[in-house]
Chain A
């Protein structure tokens, strides 16, 4: 027994003395507000106070807490300062997915106890040990610095910055993520993964193990999953051949202690290592899968323009990028339970309807017998679109009849999950003497790893985006997704476009210099405008706000350029880059359906199947639905994403939820409004109110005998691309331009970011607070891509070797929202999730070039690479 003073109450904890405090709090005391993101001190999600000092609970043996005061997020609201901090986080949008929030709050509490009025440097030092992957930290810093809750939030009309409607549970530890709510009697599942990038294996008799070993032979249905309906190439449990380090070959299932007792050497698995194919398209390489004999998964192409106009200047270059990990702070986790001939799967996901389809096929049961109940999702960014634990826990629960849970460790998450595709790009561009672009040619190989995952999507999206949002009369582009024995590359914020944008924007800088044009004006000159036709042959009639974005940046550009240091060993540079991003799937249907109901008792319910992974769709869609209906957002009750309760809203990906599901929500609101007005026989401008269970139309109560319903669906109009990449791949595009100001240490090659100014055309900001949060979070990930993130299988399988930006790595960000209304979008809105990330890395590389004259050819621009580039220049 260990005695502690837990959140002020004397508490006895029965766990073994060496149990980590994080585990004791979660498993023994039921305080799951303390999160576990790494179990290694690297993420800070488990931060609690021990006698007032912040510590990583995952590094404290329970016995060391004996007789001491332990404060967790659950104990925070009891103090005025804790409550004020929670309120400040809420009103500043400092919690997005919320998985880092308990740790942030506890770190801030330690600071404020000693330093009630800290400055920004003190906030950074105090919170530097907690990683956040969603917010870009700026809102967190602001919340700690200001504390005081500002004026009461606006009512929540479209355009109002209201705090997230699902925000409060993220602040007091009550939110339930994938690892937080499994039944106490659940069995544990532990995957067994290949430590080799390529190996044959055989599994012998496992009856000596204290836990059951599930293998391919145990899969009742199809032993395969994958994003595309016709490509189910990744096995739940590989059959005799492991194709990457991390490939799952079997899983232990049993009581937790039994599963945890099994060691590697106990496993009846024999391995025969094979040489791995690690470089894309080694000539003569054996095929990874018989279906793709040359290891080319897909090739995407675009041909536009017959001949290039005469050019005065050309520029060309090669760029390579590495694997980038999503590094959501919540590792994959969830559980399944069998109910008769139905299976329920709970846990974190971005795509419940796809999960349902995969689980049904793997179990060999009808779709209707699978229910996916997403938990809160502690970040996704594309990495929780593919299934992970879902088919495994479903199979185990199906076979054992017991609830079965699984929680990936950080190392396992890193080794097994999808990554951003490494790209190897060659591009050539030309312009005339006046600086007008004449041609752009682009070929790239994207390393898609061992399985298809989203490889075809990347190969499809890149050729149509790679010339950027510019008028280019002649384009030839090609992107191939190439199979290797690397981790599967999948969907990651931008689907290959951020890599391509690096090449495109670096070439523009070279051409601007060659023509003697200012780099920003070069982009203004060439920018797409309303009325232009894209290289896919799409006529852009509306909502092309790029020139406005650049014009909004222009004064900042001149100021920052004038301020930069041009002598000495710290050399200033300012960079600029633009992007466009097609909202929704590429030339493919991606419908969404939303539903509103009004019961006779006046209960108004919004049935919303779009998963909020922290980006804010629950709030934004409610604002849209309420506005279309004509009632305040506070009148809505929510039924959120559950395949048994909500209609299919599609995946939370491709920046599509605000645009596609938003249109559906708007239509649902309008439909219910229409029903109401019909019953009340009222005109279109009638005023609705709802109070005390009574709906009033123009102040007249409306009695209902049945539930009224409004359903709305939307599928953006697109035309599939032909072999030359011609068609209407997206109904609308987001546009953006960003500036990065930084200093380069010429002797060390280190980069110090000073400021980022981001101008984004979002069509309409339904909730500016949340849009800014997306921009800041996207920029932080862009900084990581540019400067530090590089996943190397077997070498960076933890969060101290795989570096993501910390609170000190994200500079001041100024966000300018441009609203070039999109008539198709809900109240004019487009999307923002991915666009924010795309221009950041090229803007940073542009600034490094401005400071030093050196063009980086490889990201991340680690100090030794920057120095090499400076010296080679």
Chain B
């Protein structure tokens, strides 16, 4: 069995995937290679063959569709930033500019970030607030799943064996929607988030008409916060309406970066600041 495969079409990739059980999909490699390096320190080698998707032309691109937007599986952070998109994508773009450094943004894919399913994946909160859906293609064709259902836990997704995540589908955002993203880390560049928040808000006559908020790095997967959203809806965009109890669904942990209690507190502060900024 080859250690490395680089098909040119999605069909070929699906066939190879079916024929090569246990292979690992590869896009920009910014998660795959560091994980292998980490294992090798203690002579634990990841011997899974790599199925490199980067040669598949149909997975490239960020395009407008009748229903909204389609972000191909190979679209990376830098390409996202360079694509003209409605203001509702500003939060996603702000996240993109803070994922690693320029080298990582030039290589890392948005879909790879989601498939890697780190609790601290910076792409997840803004995409949750865009109501993104994952298009997963398997031997039987594509299926579509809301992002919240796709992200199942720390390093766990709903991707089935034999499937490839082929695109992110983003419904046309509400007209006039504005968006933002705030990330908190212990240094200025190249930092894994202690906590991050994203929001998409539409105001009408000084009142919040649509609002979606999400928090990352404060539970096994990033989460929308329905209670917080409800507290803001149909009211003036007043950060003081957001209360600790609206964040009760979060389950932050203590780790080397911060304490759980701090994360819970910081998430609320960041959300309040985001609302203030979007007001």
Tell me how many residues of A have a C-beta within 8 Å of chain B.
69
30 inter-chain pairs at a CB distance below 8 angstroms, sorted by A residue, are: A39-B33, A41-B103, A50-B106, A54-B102, A54-B103, A55-B107, A56-B104, A56-B107, A59-B34, A61-B26, A61-B29, A63-B4, A64-B52, A107-B102, A128-B101, A129-B100, A129-B102, A267-B43, A409-B41, A412-B41, A748-B266, A788-B186, A790-B256, A792-B256, A798-B34, A798-B38, A800-B190, A809-B188, A863-B186, A864-B261
Min distance, Cβ A842 to any Cβ of chain B, angstroms = 20
Contacts A748-B269, A809-B188 given; 20 further ones with Cβ under 8 A? A18-B4, A41-B34, A42-B34, A42-B190, A44-B101, A55-B107, A58-B37, A59-B30, A59-B107, A61-B50, A64-B54, A107-B103, A126-B102, A129-B100, A129-B190, A410-B41, A411-B38, A800-B34, A803-B187, A808-B187
Contact of A129 among B29, B42, B189 (CB under 8 A): B189
Task: Please give, as numbers and ranges, the residues of chain B lying within 8 Å of A130 by CB-CB distance.
Answer: 101
The B8-52 residues at the A interface (CB cut-off 8 A) are 26, 28-30, 33-34, 37-38, 40-45, 50, 52
Q: Are A53 and B106 in contact (CB under 8 A)?
A: yes
Q: Are B37 and A39 in contact (CB under 8 A)?
A: yes
Q: Are B187 and A59 in contact (CB under 8 A)?
A: no
Spell out B's residues near A (CB within 8 Å). 3-4, 6, 26, 28-30, 33-34, 37-38, 40-45, 50, 52, 54, 78, 97, 100-104, 106-107, 184, 186-192, 194, 256-259, 261-262, 265-266, 269-270
Given contacts A61-B52, A129-B104, A863-B266, contact A801 B256 (CB under 8 A): yes
The A472-519 residues at the B interface (CB cut-off 8 A) are none
The A425-464 residues at the B interface (CB cut-off 8 A) are none
Q: How far is the CA of A747 from the CA of B4 in the complex (A)?
A: 49
The A40-55 residues at the B interface (CB cut-off 8 A) are 40-42, 44, 47, 50, 53-55
Interface residue A20 (Cβ < 8 Å from any Cβ of B): yes
Interface residue A282 (Cβ < 8 Å from any Cβ of B): no
Q: Are A263 and B101 in contact (CB under 8 A)?
A: no
Q: How far is the CA of A286 from the CA of B243 in the complex (A)?
A: 51
Q: Are A128 and B189 in contact (CB under 8 A)?
A: yes
Interface residue A262 (Cβ < 8 Å from any Cβ of B): yes
Secondary structure type dominating chain B contacts: loop
Interface residue A7 (Cβ < 8 Å from any Cβ of B): no
Most chain B beta-carbon contacts within 10 A, residue among A126, A267, A806, A860: A806
8 closest Cβ pairs, A-B complex: A129-B101, A808-B188, A411-B41, A128-B189, A864-B262, A40-B34, A18-B4, A264-B43
Task: Please give, as numbers and ranges, the residues of chain A lying within 8 Å of B40 by CB-CB distance.
Answer: 409, 411
Task: Please give, as numbers and ranges, the residues of chain B lying within 8 Å of A129 by CB-CB distance.
Answer: 100-104, 189-190
Q: Are B189 and A806 in contact (CB under 8 A)?
A: yes
Task: Please give, as numbers and ranges, the residues of chain A lying within 8 Å of B101 by CB-CB distance.
Answer: 44, 128-130
Task: Please give, as numbers and ranges, the residues of chain B lying within 8 Å of A110 by CB-CB distance.
Answer: 102
Q: How far is the CA of A796 from the CA of B37 in the complex (A)?
A: 14
Task: Please give, as numbers and ranges, the residues of chain A lying within 8 Å of B45 by CB-CB distance.
Answer: 263
Q: How far is the CA of A862 from the CA of B256 in the complex (A)?
A: 10
The A182-228 residues at the B interface (CB cut-off 8 A) are 192-193, 195
Min distance, Cβ B79 to any Cβ of chain A, angstroms = 10
Min distance, Cβ B268 to any Cβ of chain A, angstroms = 9
Q: Are A61 and B186 in contact (CB under 8 A)?
A: no
Min distance, Cβ A67 to any Cβ of chain B, angstroms = 11
Q: How far is the CA of A460 from the CA of B46 in the complex (A)?
A: 47
Interface residue A805 (Cβ < 8 Å from any Cβ of B): yes
Task: Please give, as numbers and ranges, the residues of chain A lying within 8 Å of B189 by CB-CB distance.
Answer: 124, 128-129, 806-809
Most chain B beta-carbon contacts within 10 A, residue among A20, A411, A792, A863: A863
Q: Are A415 and B28 in contact (CB under 8 A)?
A: no
Contact of A800 among B3, B28, B192 (CB under 8 A): B192
